Structure 1
Amino acid sequence: MRKRSFVVILTLSIMLLLNGMTCLAAHGENTLRPGESLSMWQWIESSNHEYLLQMQTGGKMVLYSKSRGVLWTSPISYYPGYNHRPNRFIMQHDGNLVMYHNLFPSKPDPGDIGDQTLYDMPVWDSKTYNNPGAHLILQDDGNLVIYQGTQPLWATGTNL
């Protein structure tokens, strides 16, 4: 009986741990589902392989076209006095697409409490929160769109 209880508790603990983890999107897919994210140099790609959305070292998301070059880059809010280190670009469960950076003091001063490293600071978002289940799709026309079901909530407007 003790062994079975231990196995049940262990199994439930692992399930809870895995449920809370952020999933990474698979390369070559055209969708970021709720909870999936892109980290440095990861990407999603349109089904026709013409368009690619990738997280760059400079901390921006860049949408490329093989035939037209750069179509869109994510704007970023900079925090004065901090160096940015890109962390992740995530399609949150609430429907908001958010870019997070880790921030490090530009001139660290050990005696200054204000110069602390800041982790997971949002530097850009799509402002599409309160839409649980929304997902991001890189369409074959080059438009990057957040959908709630079949309803578009946000788009880059790059389907020229």
Structure 2
Amino acid sequence: MELATRSHLVFDLPLALLLVILGTLSIPSMADQVLYPANSLFTGQSLNQGNYALTMQTDCNLVLYDGGRAVWASGTNGRGSSCRVTMQRDGNLVVYNGNGAAVWSSGTARGTGNYALVLQRDRNLVIYGPAIWATGTNAAGVAAVGPSVPKYAVLTSHGRATPAATSGGVGGRKATPGGVAGEGSNN
């Protein structure tokens, strides 16, 4: 029995050293670039990913910046004060004014689930959530391989990415060949 204890100790020592080394490495956290269900960004708060920032501005406009340049906006500037954007449990991303009235939504409500808004490394804002259909043929006792949360919906409606309209200042809206900047539902 003493031999088994020693070999177990020899095996655990390299593993423990590896864990200590890995613990000292700077591993990027997802916390700064993810808005989890039932959580909000309040005025002045941002999701960050490298040079990209999604910011809830004091003028109630939700704006995606690339190195300080606006590339997308909800178009809700001037629609209230003390605004917040909330990732709802039904998959809908909603900007609320200080009175609690919805002034914009992504139009992606799909039913209760664990949805999250992610500011990706490619600058795309994506809402991820539970799978909405499956064959149900998974084998018992077999672990699933791959991401646990599949791509669900993009922030803008109709599957089109639309550039921010910044004429006359951040958060303006203008017609583009692909639609209107900040597409979604302006209530």
Distance in 2 of aligned mates of 1:77 and 1:88: 12
Q: Which residue of 1 aligns with 2:59?
A: 58
Q: How many residues align?
A: 111
Secondary structure, counterpart of 2:126 in structure 1: strand
Residues 10-159 of structure 1 aligned to structure 2 (within 5 Å): 29-46=32-49, 49-66=50-67, 69-76=69-76, 84-102=80-98, 119-131=99-111, 132-148=113-129, 149-156=149-156, 157=161
Report the TM-score when normalising by structure 2: 0.53
Shift of 1:158: 6.8
Consecutive unaligned residues in structure 2, runs of 5 or more? 1-28, 130-148, 164-187
Query: Over alpha carbons, which structure has the higher Rg?
Result: 2
Distance in 2 of aligned mates of 1:70 and 1:35: 26
Distance in 1 of aligned mates of 2:32 and 2:109: 23
The percent identity for this pair of structures is 35
Secondary structure, counterpart of 1:29 in structure 2: helix
1:87/1:27 Cα in 2 relative to 1: closer, same or farther (>3 Å)?
A: farther
Distance in 2 of aligned mates of 1:59 and 1:77: 5
1:43/1:74 Cα in 2 relative to 1: closer, same or farther (>3 Å)?
A: same
Distance in 2 of aligned mates of 1:76 and 1:41: 15
Report the TM-score when normalising by structure 1: 0.61
Shift of 1:88: 1.0
Distance in 2 of aligned mates of 1:72 and 1:151: 20
**Which range moved further: 54-63 or 130-139?**
130-139
Distance in 2 of aligned mates of 1:70 and 1:88: 19
Shift of 1:28: 6.4
Secondary structure, counterpart of 2:44 in structure 1: coil
The letter of the residue matching 2:101 is M
Distance in 1 of aligned mates of 2:60 and 2:44: 10
Q: What's the RMSD between the two structures over aligned residues?
A: 2.6
Shift of 1:95: 1.1
Distance in 2 of aligned mates of 1:99 and 1:155: 13
